[in-house]
Structure 1
């Protein structure tokens, strides 16, 4: 199935999207929102699948033309957003550039942080830059959405809890990260809101490209209309999604609607490009001794998508522009002149 959420209300309005992305249909009588569907997946999955088959066969009672510009992220807000770092090559590059050794544990225990989830950006929503000096960066990643996951689930059993797959742009403020990490308490200010692809798909829609909890397709990234990177998401992925789920659920159960990200997709073959500016900058420093690529600036235009060799659409496109935005006033309310 392919599911999307129209940008109506705080939790969106769930729709089914045809396989070719040409048409869609409302399913409010089955599930008004994606969160409702995930909370009741065992009850609504069969009927959603039936309606999806009718939609693709052109037999839906009421269908309309699908417009991704009308969509929010599939889950406009979520109870939990945990982003991993499954591509250890990416971590290794960043540490190598600053002359730091990588602990051996990074190869057996994935890094994970818990991000902002009470409101995401739409896939075509502007990235509002409040301070260019913060070092704004994009990170093209994959993400999965789970149903209810029991505590201490094994990686073997975790696969059955992956209900949907989608793309994500995990925005990072690189120049705020060092000071936050130095405090030993992790990311917070340096990780603002993220955005997800307009469409989330069930793993069966991915066919042979989905194998052992990995998606073996290229992530295509362009910046200002120019090719930036096309690394393969299944290649050099140290930790699969079932492994990430098992790691995150070691000491807690995960509620339905939990989103788990893969971290920045990265291949050891640097000729395929990168999925974030930080990695490209580190490669420049390692190779040439200096960094020439700037972080994002107002006016930049970013596109993130994933298309199989046969050209069939999968998730739609994350297509965002960076716009300058006035900083939020730091003046205490009682001192503001009215």
Structure 2
């Protein structure tokens, strides 16, 4: 099943079911009007949505209409909590190398997870406006991230139980200032002000839609990241993970119960093998330096730059829809 949230002037938008090929959609007002409502009562409401999804894919839904990603908000506009994890160890190694740092012993021995404000989430076509301080700091970047939406997870739940409570998957772009992040790290602060926004692909999908791509707590899809039409890489999102998605969810549940509708963002995707591209500008620059090339062949992002992120399934079709955002400067 594929789901999206259409803009309707409210903060929560309106839930729609989207066909597998992303060509048509259908409002589901008689079942659940909001994504949060569906997640709160998943066992009761999802079977009726599945029936509608089947009918929509068969071309028999009476009130279907063409699906328009530009009309979409973030598919989960207000998550109960948003966590950001960086489980690709190779990204940390590349970043430290490019900044002239040495990772401390044990720095990568446990998952790195932080929290983000839910109001950072935006839709797939929303421009990302950058504040004057972030523009002045510079080194602006966008990270290819996986998104995982889960049901309520009890305190102390193990990874296997966490995986059973995964409801939906998506794709996200995490916008950041590397310069501000470096300053926060030097001050012993968490990366909060350096996190500028999170754009989400238009559609969330249920695990059954992913087939063999979802196995063992790893979602293996080729993520294609482009900046101004130039591809940074086509990274396998399931390779080189230091921790599975189940382990990341369970790590959070060690000390806190996770409420239903919580969102985990995992990225940037970071291949450890040369020639596989990069899931962010910082990694692309680090790879260039390793190869003896000028890192500025991959410049930091500036206002006017467009970033495109998409994942294609085995059938060649877009799984979550294209996420296309443009960086804009501060308009005083």
The interval holding the TM-score normalised by the smaller chain is: over 0.9
**How far apart in 2 are the matches of 1:118 and 1:262?**
18
Residue equivalent to 2:60 = 59
**How far apart in 2 are the matches of 1:60 and 1:106?**
53
SS across alignment from 1:159 = helix
Structure 1 residue 199 corresponds to structure 2 residue 200: no
- 1:284-320 CA distance string (max 9 Å, x none): 3333375313211111111000002321221001101
Q: 1:202-241 residue pairs with structure 2 within 5 A?
A: 202-241=206-245
* More deviation, 137-146/304-313: 304-313
SS across alignment from 2:197 = coil
SS across alignment from 2:192 = coil
Deviation at 1:73, TM superposition (A): 1.0
Residue equivalent to 2:254 = 250
**How far apart in 1 are the matches of 2:35 and 2:136?**
37
Residue equivalent to 2:130 = 129
**How far apart in 2 are the matches of 1:310 and 1:303?**
20
TM-score (norm 2): 0.94
Residue equivalent to 1:294 = 299
**How far apart in 2 are the matches of 1:105 and 1:60?**
55
Residue equivalent to 1:336 = none
Residue equivalent to 1:77 = 78
- 1:70-117 CA distance string (max 9 Å, x none): 111101222211011111111111112334333453444110110121
TM-score (norm 1): 0.92
Relative to its length, the structure with more strand (as a share) is: 2
Q: 1:33-52 residue pairs with structure 2 within 5 A?
A: 33-52=34-53
Deviation at 1:251, TM superposition (A): 0.4
Please tell me the root mean square deviation across aligned C-alpha atoms, in Å: 1.6
SS across alignment from 2:145 = strand
Residue equivalent to 2:32 = 31
Deviation at 1:119, TM superposition (A): 4.4
Gap regions ≥5 residues in structure 2:
none
- Count of aligned pairs between the two proteins: 327
SS across alignment from 1:288 = coil
